[in-house]
Amino acid sequence: MQRLHRDDLQRDDALGRRLIGASAPDKTGIVHIGLGNFHRAHAAVATAEALAAEPGDWGVVGVAMHSHGVVDPMREQGGAYSVLQLTPRGEDVGIVDVHRAFYVAADEPEAVVAQIAAPEHKIVTLTVSEQGYHKDEMTGGLDTAHPDVAADIAGSGPSTPVGLLARGLQKRFADGGAPLTILCCDNMQAGGALVHRLVTEFLQAVDAEPAVLEWMAHSVTFPNSMVDRIVPGTTDKTRADVERIAGYHDDVPVPTEEFTMWVIEDNFAAGRPAWEKARGVIFSTEVEKYELVKLRILNACHSLISYLGVLDGRGTVPDARTQQFIEDCVRNLIGDEMLPSIDLPEGFDPENYVAQLFDRWTNFALGDRTARICSHGIVRLNQRVIIPGTRLLAQGIMPQQIALLFASWLCCTCPPPGFAPDALVEEIVEPRQPELRAVSEAALAAAGPDADPVAVHVDALLHGGFFASELTDYDVFNQRVTELVQLIVSSGVRAAAQDALSKRLSSI
């Protein structure tokens, strides 16, 4: 079967008709760090659609941090790849053709630094996931104790996204100081401001000359943005579906849903594509409010659906979401604990948004894996539920669903003694799992013979420095999490969920 290649877009009318937006020119204006599925289904699509509306030199240099898994096939396909859109109403394949060069940062860090420094590149975008920025969850600053960050500061590499950005900015300044915008496209509140802070801390740690920091303050912008599209991992079925629908083979297609949204602060130092003409893109001065809606309603509820689903043996988000007890828990989390904590954007319709979310979570055609959503839970829970939880506790109200979310996270990620969860937990990726286990084992070893091992386990993890202390300083909250874990262990996740539902908005 014919393999997808960019050259065929010009020669084959059938492929040309499948093009999303327009092909980028050979000249590049954007460097993207984090060449995974999300970028290729989100910002890259918006860039192609913007180029169809308003041409410009906005080809993309794609940078993977470590893996050749996407870079090599995309090079072989001339930069072209497919987007497989899956909805309950049907399926469709389109081709994106905006990437013009590729690098793997682990293999060629200095080349990536040079790309960031090149004056023709006016924007650097990033999708490296929340944990990729090496932020210290307790201080909010750069985790300089992390071995990779420490090595970058010492002069090797650079091997981290923040290190690449900082070294690229130093070189850009030395080469003439052309203005630049760094645009974070990860699921983080005030991501632009965070990246600005982390890069600044890195430059201070390496004793960058003051002129670099002064230039950065005037010539480098860090807009905030909110990104939203569900993008699962690529499988052999994804490739087979593309072959069946489109009639060609693609090694690196991307499956995704129909919905897409990108809210951006319009603060660009050297121009940008006409992204406002792409589907789902909004330029707004209220990015932070949209971020809170996404993090606390979509993302936090996505986590609750998935942890409860894994414990109930549900491998996909739609299978989990359609269990009535999970829907009830999610609706209570939204209405009782999340929505009241958010100052909504002007004109925002929360009822329509929530209805749309339940439709998206019920997309059996997409079949997103619950274990994927459960992965990296420590970072994600810190971002999504700490403030709403402490807000209610300060009012004397127990956040029952947030407590259930912590209990289900704990039972999935580091199960208490004597509890064997569903085998689905083996798919969950939690880089700090060895630390979790070590903390629990030390606490259990130090506990007296009469201690409740489940209670000791829960207390050790909640006070182990993994979560912001604003929440875990509330002993009543920790006790409630312990009760729910004990219910999951003794009677199952459904019993724990019903207990949390029966005590909604109860006083502490």
Q: How many helices and strands, by DSSP H and E, does the chain display?
A: 25, 12
The mean pLDDT value for 7-11 works out to 83
Strand order across the 59-64 sheet: 99-104, 59-64, 28-33, 123-126, 180-184, 220-221
The predicted-structure confidence for 99-134, as pLDDT tens digits, reads as follows 999 999 999 999 999 999 999 999 999 999 988 999
The predicted-structure confidence for 406-444, as pLDDT tens digits, reads as follows 999 999 999 999 899 999 999 999 999 999 999 999 999
Average pLDDT, the chain: 96
Quick one: how far is CA 451 from the chain centroid? 39
How is residue 218 written in tokens?
């005037």
List alpha helices for 247-366, DSSP H.
Answer: 287-293, 300-311, 317-321, 324-332, 350-361
Whether the per-residue pLDDT at 395 is higher than 90: the answer is: yes
Q: Give CA separation, 400 vs 311, 330, 349, in Å.
A: 18, 11, 25
Q: Could you give phi then psi for residue 258, rounded to 5 degrees?
A: -75, -40
Q: How is residue 201 annotated by DSSP? A: H
CB 136 within 8 A of CB 382: no
Whether the per-residue pLDDT at 220 is higher than 70: the answer is: yes
The mean pLDDT value for 290-315 works out to 97
Position with higher pLDDT, 2 vs 282:
282
List alpha helices for 6-157, DSSP H.
Answer: 6-11, 13-17, 37-41, 43-53, 71-76, 109-117, 147-154
The predicted-structure confidence for 174-195, as pLDDT tens digits, reads as follows 999 999 999 999 998 899 999 9
Q: How far is the C-alpha of 267 from the C-alpha of 384, rounded, in Å?
A: 26
Quick one: how far is CA 103 from the chain centroid? 22
Q: Could you give phi then psi for residue 280, rounded to 5 degrees?
A: 80, 5
Q: How far is the C-alpha of 30 from the C-alpha of 39, rounded, in Å?
A: 13
Whether the per-residue pLDDT at 12 is higher than 70: the answer is: no
Cis peptide before 431 (omega within 30 of 0): no
Torsion over CA: 164, 169, 172, 174 (sign): negative
pTM greater than the 0.85 cutoff: yes
- Count of other CB atoms within 10 angstroms of residue 22: 17
**Tell me, what amino acid is at 431?**
P
Whether the per-residue pLDDT at 16 is higher than 90: the answer is: no
The predicted-structure confidence for 256-272, as pLDDT tens digits, reads as follows 999 999 999 999 999 99
The mean pLDDT value for 8-17 works out to 76
What is residue 448's predicted lDDT score, i.e. its pLDDT?
A: 83
Which pLDDT band holds residue 59 (cuts at 50, 70, 90)?
very high
Position with higher pLDDT, 16 vs 461:
461
Give the residue among 190, 187, 186 at the shortest CA–CA distance from 161: 186
Whether the per-residue pLDDT at 40 is higher than 90: the answer is: yes
